[in-house]
Amino acid sequence: MSDAVRVLVVEDEALLGSFIADALSECGFEACTIHSGEAALSTFRDGREQCRALLTDIDLGDGISGWELARQIREITPGFPVVYMTGASARDWESQGVANSLLLEKPFVPSQLAAAVSLLLGSSLA
């Protein structure tokens, strides 16, 4: 699976993070699952994981939010593909989300994850 596109998955709920990683794997992606915004930003900055897209929950508990995480990643790598996931913050996407991002409202089905990531990766490669 070394040729699989790596996706940085940021979800503070471990069970949901595992579900997302499995869903991405079934669709040919490889997930690097992190449970906090700060840890995700550190992982992204050091480049060890070589992720090509960000799939982040918005409410990550204590610390930085998914909104802020995406903004900071975009400062490092403009145009980096971002997909937000939320059960409650969809109304804030227009004002808080980074440009050219997508938002998935929870609950969603695995195929929606793959479609969103594929769509953004396709547009970032064009």
Q: Domain boundaries in the chain?
A: 5-125
Could you tell me which CATH number the domain at 5-125 has?
A: 3.40.50.2300
What is the rounded CA–CA span in Å between residue 74 and residue 71? 5
Residues 6+ apart with CB under 8 A from 99: none
Going by C-alpha positions, the residue among 40, 57, 58, 37 that lies closest to residue 49 is 40
Q: Predicted confidence band at 124 (pLDDT cuts at 50, 70, 90)? A: low
Give percent of the chain above pLDDT 90: 79
pLDDT in tens, 5-26: 999 999 999 999 999 999 999 9
Return the pLDDT at 79.
Answer: 94
The DSSP symbol for 114 reads H
